Amino acid sequence: MNSLEHRAFKEELFGQFARIGRALANAHRLELLDLLAQGERTVEELAREAGMSVANTSRHLQELRAARLVEVRREGLYRHYRLADERVFGLWRALRELGEARLAEVDRLVRTHLEDRNSLEPVDAEELLERIHRGEVVVLDVRPEKEYRAGHIPGARSVPLERLEAYLEELPREVEIVAYCRGPYCVFADEAVALLRSRGYRARRLTEGLPDWRAAGMPVESAAG
């Protein structure tokens, strides 16, 4: 390979990598990846969760699909999207962690909107798994039930946040409760812990969400077993 051929090769190669960068360079598309990390979703479900129109959501999904970051399954009139593989979540997680480390604005936003989080005494994945094995804790998955069915921490109870108050009588008061949701920026678990504590329960939140738990190699169950 001569120098001109080598230069052409490098430009084409890095141009292909840039396809992924361009696909990620949009806040809405990053949120869609974060939602798809919970499990397969239809365009309509994603649009509702992300607060976008179906047409706009579909356009962003096509951009992600063109970069081979998501895949689609058609069933009747509906299109079901999912992450192409686990490395896509790893890429989003690496970007998230880099932003936390390098962008002061990320820290400011988290402190502004999640300022009471430290008072909720977060528990990390390793500690939670040990306590599950010892039978010392009740784990609540406060995400929507569909996300729970797609994958959850073994033994966790599915109690979506909007149903939690009606479920309180089913929870033991002598055992600590740990709630988890979608990820570090999801507030479902924060709100669940605040409600539980206001009713006299001992409760804490998991530091991250189910996708991070899975990525760490922790065991995961699904509704199909």
Q: Active-site positions?
A: 181
Q: How far is CA 138 from CA 15, 118, 174, in A?
A: 49, 21, 10
Q: Determine contact, residues 53/47, Cβ cutoff 8 Å.
A: yes
* Among candidate residues 102, 117, 128, the one with its CA nearest the CA of residue 190: 117
Q: Determine contact, residues 116/134, Cβ cutoff 8 Å.
A: no
Dihedral sign from CA coordinates of 210, 213, 215, 217: negative
Work out the number of other CB atoms within 10 angstroms of the CB of residue 10. 10
Q: Is 156 helix (H, G, I), strand (E, B) or coil?
A: coil
Dihedral sign from CA coordinates of 91, 182, 35, 75: positive
Residue 142 token pair: 């406060």
Residue 85 token pair: 């593989």
Q: Which run of H or of E encompasses 26?
A: none
